[in-house]
A and B are shown apart, each in its own frame.
Chain A
Amino acid sequence: MRRPRVPLPPFVRFLLRRAAALLLLCLGTTVIAFGFTQLVPGDPVAANLGEQAAADPAAVAAFEDRYGLDEPVPVQYLIYLRNLLRGDLGESLQDHQPVRENLATYVPASAELAILSTLVAVFVGVAFGIAAAVRRNRLGDHALRVVSLVGISMPTFWIALLALYIFFFRLGWFPGGDRLDPGILAPPHVTGMYTIDAALAGQWDVMVNAFHHLVLPALVLAAYNVGLLTRYTRSAVLEVIGNDYVRAARAKGLAERVVLLRHVLRAALPSVVTVIGLVFANVLTGTVLVETIFAWPGIGQYAYRSAVTLDLPSIMGVGLFVAVVYISINFVVDVLYGVIDPRIRVT
Chain B
Amino acid sequence: MSTTLAPEGPARARLRPRWPRQAGGQPLAVIGATLVAAWLVVAVLAPYLAPHDPLAQSAEAFAAPSSEHLFGTDELGRDVFSRVLYGARISLPLGLLLVVLAAAIGGILGGLAGYFRGWTDGVVMRTTDLVFAFPAIILAMVVTAALGPGLTNAVLALVIVAWPSYARVVRSLVLSVADSEYVWATRLLGSSSRRTLVREVLPNVVGPVLVLATLDVGNAILLLSGLSFLGLGAQPPDPEWGSMVATGTQFFQFWWIGTFPGLAIFSAVLAFNFIGDSLRDVFDPRTARESRERM
Residues of A within 8 A of B (CB): 25, 28-29, 31-33, 36-37, 39-41, 136-137, 141-142, 145-146, 149-150, 152-158, 160-162, 164-165, 169, 228, 231-232, 234-235, 238-239, 241-242, 278, 281-282, 284-285, 288-289, 292-293, 303-304, 306-308, 310-312, 315-316, 318-319, 322-323, 326-327
Contacts and interface: CB of A to CB of B under 8 A. Distances in A.
B139 A146 contact: no
B229 interface: yes
B263 to A, nearest CB: 8
Nearest to A29: B133
Given A152-B273, A158-B265, A293-B249, 14 more contacts: A36-B143, A145-B28, A149-B28, A149-B270, A149-B274, A152-B218, A155-B226, A156-B226, A157-B229, A157-B245, A161-B245, A285-B138, A308-B231, A322-B135
Q: Name A's interface SS.
A: helix
Contact of B139 (A31, A156, A319): A319
B138 A322 contact: yes
9 contacts: A137-B289, A149-B274, A155-B225, A157-B226, A165-B259, A232-B4, A292-B230, A308-B231, A326-B135
Interface stretch (B62-70, B82-90, B145-153): B145-153
B60 interface: no
Contact of B138 (A169, A308, A318): A318
B16 interface: no
Nearest to B141: A307
Contacts of A238: 286-287
Interface string B270-295: 10011001000000001101100111
A25 B262 contact: no
A304 B230 contact: yes
A161 B146 contact: no
Query: What are the 5 tightest A-B residue pairs by CB atom distance, in nearest-first order?
Result: A158-B262, A242-B294, A153-B270, A235-B287, A281-B135
Contacts of B265: 155, 158
A114 to B, nearest CB: 12
Contacts of B192: none
B130 interface: yes
B232 interface: yes
Given A40-B146, A327-B133, A319 B141 contact: yes
A142 B289 CA distance: 9
Q: Which of A155, A311, A318, A326 has the most CB of B within 10 A?
A: A155
B259 A161 contact: yes
A134 B259 CA distance: 36
A288 B266 contact: no
A153 B218 contact: yes
B144 interface: yes
A268 to B, nearest CB: 12
Contacts of B270: 149-150, 153
B2 A282 contact: yes
Contact of B147 (A39, A242, A318): A39
Given A25-B129, A28-B133, A161 B145 contact: no
A158 B134 contact: no
B229 A155 contact: yes
A152 B276 CA distance: 12
Q: Which of A41, A241, A285, A312 has the most CB of B within 10 A?
A: A285
B245 A326 contact: no
Interface of B: 2, 4, 28, 126, 129-130, 133-139, 141-149, 218, 222, 225-226, 229-232, 242, 245-246, 248-249, 252-253, 255, 258-259, 262-263, 265-266, 269-270, 273-274, 277, 286-287, 289-290, 293-295
Q: Name B's interface SS.
A: helix
Contacts of A32: 130, 134
Nearest to A39: B146
Q: Which of B130, B146, B249 has the most CB of A within 10 A?
A: B146
A308 B226 contact: no
Given A161-B259, A169-B253, A288-B138, A28 B129 contact: yes
Contacts of A316: 142
B83 to A, nearest CB: 16
Contacts of A29: 130, 133-134
Contact of A33 (B142, B231, B273): B142
Nearest to A168: B252
A316 B294 CA distance: 51
Q: Which of A241, A318, A322 has the most CB of B within 10 A?
A: A322
Given A308-B231, A322-B134, A281 B2 contact: yes
A307 B273 CA distance: 30
Contacts of B145: 306-307, 310-312, 315
Given A158-B262, A304-B230, A307-B144, A285 B245 contact: no
Nearest to A224: B222
Contacts of B242: 155, 157
B135 A239 contact: no
A161 B142 contact: no
Contacts of A154: 266, 269
B14 to A, nearest CB: 19
B287 A326 contact: no
B134 A319 contact: yes
Nearest to B130: A28
Contacts of A307: 141, 144-145, 230-232
